[in-house]
Chain A
Amino acid sequence: MVKTAEKKLTRPVINVLECKGCGRCIIACPKDVLEMSSELNERGYHFVKYKGSGCIGCGNCYYSCPEPLALEVHIVENDKEQK
């Protein structure tokens, strides 16, 4: 199958402005695909970034995030077959 554009893959979507940088999602991620930024967001917090690949869509980051609307996981069906 043709390689899909990166944004179409299963991935976490992070609302940078709402992230307070607690790091709970980084610990919860089984694939270690999240990392803390070195820069600050507009509100003065470090924020979590997706390393860009490797997300399996387990939802651990969403459920461990204390901010209800700071993080969501987009799961692309048939993703496995694409790989």
Chain B
Amino acid sequence: MSSSTLDKLPVGASARVQDVSGDPALQQRLLEMGVLPGTEVTVVRFAPLGDPMEIKVMGYSLSLRRSEAAHVSVEVAS
């Protein structure tokens, strides 16, 4: 087990969300969209220009900017 933030995960990596921070609006949006402690997220790809990134969460695909993903701390099962 190792801790990281979502934006730093490589393509294909899965992890469990530990905490979601950021300014209140961002935190609330992330939580509403299902990115909350305990959920599993998988990095699918990064956009051709390097940002944003696509993740799988709760069975659907979500695009978010790396700066936003940096507020999601995750735990990678090794």
B and A form one assembly: no
Which B residues have a C-beta under 8 Å from some C-beta of A?
none
Which A residues have a C-beta under 8 Å from some C-beta of B?
none
